[in-house]
Structure 1
Amino acid sequence: MKKLLSILTALVMAVSLAACGSGSGSDGKTYTFASELDIKNLDSCDADDGMSFNAMHAVIDGLMGLDENGEITYAIAEDHQVSDDGLTHTFKLRDAKWSNGTEVTANDFVYAWQRIIKNVGNYAYMMGTGGASIVGADELMAKTENGEELTDEDLDTLGVKAVDDKTLEVQLTTPVAYFEELMTFPCYYPINEEFCEEQGSNYAKSPDAILSNGAFVMETWEPGSTATFSKNEDYWNADAVNLDTLVMNLVQEPTVAAQNFESGNNDFAPISSDLVDQYKDDESFTSFNEGYLFYVQVNFNNTDLQNQNLRKALSLAINREDFATNVLKDGSKEANGFIPSQLSIGPEGQDFRDDAADYTEYNLDEAQAAMDQALAELGKDSVSLRLLYGTDESPMDTMATYLQNAFSQLEGLNIEMVATTKQDRIYTKQANRDFDLACTRWGPDYSDPTTYLNLMITGNTNNYGDWTNADYDALMNQVATEADLDARWQMMIEAEGIAMSDYANIPVFEKGTSALQNPAVTGLVQRPVGVPYTFTYVDIEA
């Protein structure tokens, strides 16, 4: 691949990167965005990956959205009132239309929110104490977990109702300070009930099976290849949209994406670590915080891994700074805890990571000492562990290889590499507890520490390692209802300390992204929280 890129580079030496990009033509302004990932679907009840969120947000607006600076602003809602006790939220909806000409109504939100719980959607938990704390959500999810099929009467107990076509009322069990930000997340997007029911199981799986109320309308979609979108002329905020066409080049390997960037066929192309040195001094090069925490999930069903010294040895054996700086080289940095930096600001204006302790370090001598102690406690001469990772979720394979080398430095530890796909890793092997150690990641759904801390609560659907701690659970229950922001902040710091001191999971690095970006392009909004990219305000200089 490097040889191929070198040949291509030689052929286009005379072409300035600054001249790259789709730009403006006879058909108007076209912006082309490349991604290593595919779009799963556009169903807010089912999709759970960043690329699907990008595509979904291009065509659908929720109650709240983002402005050109990435700040929370009104979208389908034009007004939001909160009761004095913080438990009742009332949204007034603006005049907006779906792409089939029907009005966007309050019932579209009621239907969507009930549907995600009824269908046990991947983000259903965010309706309850794992997110918005909507009245009745936890009780309804408990029924579905017990195998009960929810009736219409059951769903009506969910604390969301359409007072009229333009008024949505939401009842909460506890005040949620970040409620408006939650409303920008895809699982809270509206769905036109009549259209969705007509589509049935095909809903949101093709351009003809999805309606738009957002900046763009999906025109074509070839899974694993390309998706195209045109400007939605009926969009309520159409004056803010400068593009005529948005193109997403899907499943492009970074070297290919870079080649296409140089030839003018991509305006944005994420690049891998081995390309950073080549492009880092070019004006088109950019890097930023992606928001993901990459970590090792430990399966506590493995009796060997129940030994704390073994988990301690694994953590101490990882040189995180070396990995981030000298291997990834893409703006990533070592993880010092389970809450990434630049995620959440506390009541006194401080970053959570600055306020909390550091829980990671590299010390191979101490790692070996912990390993020796673990073997003695286990009564074994050696321990064998399987390290699970997905080969199609870069840089997971790079991380897995680095961890294999790091863990191999420990005498008495044997590592077996288990390579698979992301889907199989999560939904088959991890879901079935068929792993010992798993290379995994989490992207924040909202900018509060609970978006990470909730993952380690006993019974959380993403707690595939089944770590459990009564003190931690009790503390997180307090966090869920604590109204005093200072007290709540300290509880979350304490909770992270409980989990990290016990090596509930082993943080490795905070993901950065390096990319090539057309210098003629402005207005791409990137956030490390929620939907990664917003295309509404993208513009291209002529």
Structure 2
Amino acid sequence: MKKGILALFGTILATTIILTACSNKQSSANQQDLTVATSAEMATLSTTKYSDTTSLEALQNTFEGLYRFNSNNKPVLAGASSVSVSSDKKTYTFTLRKNAKWSNGDAVTAQDYVFAWRKMVDPASASPNSQRFAPIKNGVDIAAGKMPVNKLGIKALSSYKLQITLESPISYFSELMTGAPFYPQDEKIVNKYGSQYGTSASKTVFNGPFIVTNWNGTNLKWNYVKNTKYWNKDAVTLKKVKVQVVKDASTAANLYKTNKLDYAMLTTDYIKQYQKTAGFHSKTIPLIGYMSFNTHRKTTANVHFRKAIAFAYNKGSLVKNVLHAGSALNGIVPKNFAFNTKTGNDYRKDAGNMSTYNLKEAKKQWAEAKKELGKQKISIELLTSDTTDSKQIGEYLQSQLETNLPGLSVSLRSIPLKSRLAATTDYDFDIVYGTWQPDYADPVNFISDGGQYHLDDDYNNSNFRSLLNTAATTYATNPTKRWSTLIKAEKQLIKTDAFTAPVYQGGMSYLLKNKVKGLQISPYGTVLFYRNVKIK
């Protein structure tokens, strides 16, 4: 009898184990949770204040504007259900979705767009992205403090009717509108929290497919959780994205190999090391690396000094021996990014090289700089973030500059990205190394922005400004003349004045588990879109 009971118990136990295993497997599949690493901390959840990639990724997954990218990375209507365009292509009238809600239940209205856009261009906001509004009527003059914010070309015709007026027609309007600077903000919530809005998840509301949770403004882990108030929540399968900051690519790769991460980005030497690992992917992207100069300081304000720096480092060697991905960048606009709508030509090929590695010219400019500055020995500081790749690139640039420019001493300061952004904003730097990725596929996005710090505030060359204005107005509908005008503007900025020193065009290498389907990468860089992800 005991044997029978034991046999029966054994059968029940075995069945239970099998059922439990099946149940766990099914439960795991149904969890729809994704675990990813990012290389830098998040700085803000405010669309008017961000200037870093981690914050941008958060915004693009938790907010939604008039347009978004579909699964083929083409812009489609999102927060709007329909749009009509005037015959002169300058006025767009949108009908907003009446079922679009903020995560606190508030309706997303036309006034939320008007409020957010006016705040973006208000000089008092000092938004690093105000220049994106140059195509919007009066955007330039308002950002310059010459007109009141209520003159911006955006108007709420009713709660769900929004009218946008441009200075001149642009071919990339729908792509432009997918960008985070053009998202709405819940006016009631922004006014409630004031300067604290966007400094933590609890002081922000969202209207996109996910919301941010567990971010207090400084911690290195947070979640994107499916937004139950999102108007199209039924199209979103993923329940949660668990994000952790892992600054060292080797650590991220090890976490991936031990199944503690589903996605990990690789940089520098680790690309070569892990390229045969299951789930390895690599692609060229329009991300750029560059150096910006603090023109408020005597040394870095000297054009000969800036040119000496720009000519003095071997970009090809950097790409080949340090980055193991990407290519040398000899202008501010990357290659294979923007193409002439009439000729089909790549902008970079048409524009040619504007800032190359040229040791002879570097030494000539260095001699002129020392003469004008009255010094034979000069010390400067290069500021970078403290991620693995940024520090390695900083060390390479330091070595190249000190070797090729005798008498130059370069010290490195590598600090957390949030601190580096703050230091740059506050002019607490000599030279800063950074990366940037665009928002729409047009060369003007790099020439008039490109992540170049204080470009609007400090670069006041009248020829440059006139060329940009002519390209945006007189030649707005003439692709050939507009193209040549933008090339002249880039030449003034990079070749003549060396306001910025281009370094490299990026490549993106990463590890991704095969169970993850539908993960999208922005057509303009490294930002991940989680909306269409499914865990198989």
Question: Which TM-score tier does this pair reach, normalised by the shorter chain?
Answer: 0.7 to 0.9
One-letter code of the match for 2:43?
A: K
> Greater CA deviation, 421-430 or 112-121?
421-430
Distance 2:27 2:160 in 1: 38
Q: Is the 1:23–1:29 Cα contact (8 Å) retained in structure 2?
A: no
Match of 2:351 among 351, 356, 371: 356
- Aligned: 1:250 with 2:245: yes
> What is the correspondence of 1:49-448 to structure 2 with a 5 Å cutoff?
49-94=52-97, 95-118=99-122, 120-123=125-128, 125-126=130-131, 128-129=133-134, 133-143=135-145, 154-221=148-215, 223-300=218-295, 310-329=305-324, 331-347=325-341, 348-365=343-360, 367-372=362-367, 375=370, 377-378=371-372, 382-410=376-404, 412-421=406-415, 422-428=417-423, 431-432=426-427, 435-448=429-442
Tell me if structure 2 keeps the 8 A contact 1:385–1:437: no
Q: Is the 8 A contact 2:292 2:453 kept in 1?
A: no
Paired amino acid for 1:297: S
- Give yes or no for the alignment of 1:480 onto 2:475: no
Partner of 1:9: none
- Alignment-derived partner of residue 15 in structure 2: none
Cα drift, residue 393 of structure 1: 4.4
- CA distance in 1 between counterparts of 2:511 and 2:139 reads 43
| Structure 1 length-normalised TM | 0.84
**What is the alpha-carbon distance in structure 1 between the residues aligned to residue 422 and residue 228 of structure 2?**
39
How far 1:321 sits from its partner (Å)? 0.9
* 1:470 equivalent in structure 2: 462
CA distance in 1, matches of 2:365, 2:141: 43
Is 1:504 the counterpart of 2:499? The answer is yes
Separation of aligned partners in 2, 1:314 and 1:212 = 43
Percent sequence identity over aligned pairs: 28
SS of the residue corresponding to residue 25 of structure 1 reads helix
Q: Which amino acid aligns with 1:271?
A: L
CA distance in 2, matches of 1:402, 1:252: 19
In structure 2, the CA distance between the partners of 1:310 and 1:216, relative to structure 1 (3 Å rule), is closer
Deviation of residue 492 (structure 1)?
A: 0.7
The structure with more radius of gyration: 2
- In structure 2, runs of 5+ residues without a counterpart are 1-24
Do 1:288 and 1:514's aligned partners in 2 also have CA atoms closer than 8 Å? Answer: yes
The code of the aligned residue for 1:157 comes to K
**Contact kept in structure 1, 2:522 and 2:528, CA below 8 Å:** yes
Secondary structure of the corresponding residue to residue 151 of structure 2? coil
1:139 and 1:370, CA in 2 relative to 1: closer, same or farther beyond 3 A? closer
Shift of 1:530: 7.4
For residue 221 of structure 1, give the secondary structure of its aligned residue in structure 2.
coil
CA distance in 2, matches of 1:326, 1:23: 46
Native 8 Å contact 1:292 1:528 kept in 2: no
Runs of 4+ in 1 over 6 A off after TM superposition: none
**1:320: Cα distance to partner?**
0.6
Q: Which of 503, 512, 515 is the equivalent residue of 1:517?
A: 512
Superposed CA RMSD in Å reads 3.0
Question: Structure 1 506/346 Cα, relative in aligned 2: closer, same or farther at 3 Å?
Answer: same
Q: Deviation string for 1:425-471 (max 9, x for gaps)?
A: 44435643x544332333323222122211499xx962399455332
Aligned to 2:39: 36
Displacement after TM superposition at 1:65 (Å)? 0.2
Name the CA distance, whole Å, in 2 between partners of 1:498 and 1:156: 33
Please tell me the residue identity of whatever aligns with 1:42: L
Q: Alpha carbons of 1:160 and 1:493: their partners in 2 closer, same or farther (altered >3 Å)? A: same
AA partner of residue 415 (structure 1): S
More helix as a share of residues: 2
Matched-pair contact (CA < 8 Å) for 2:35–2:261: yes
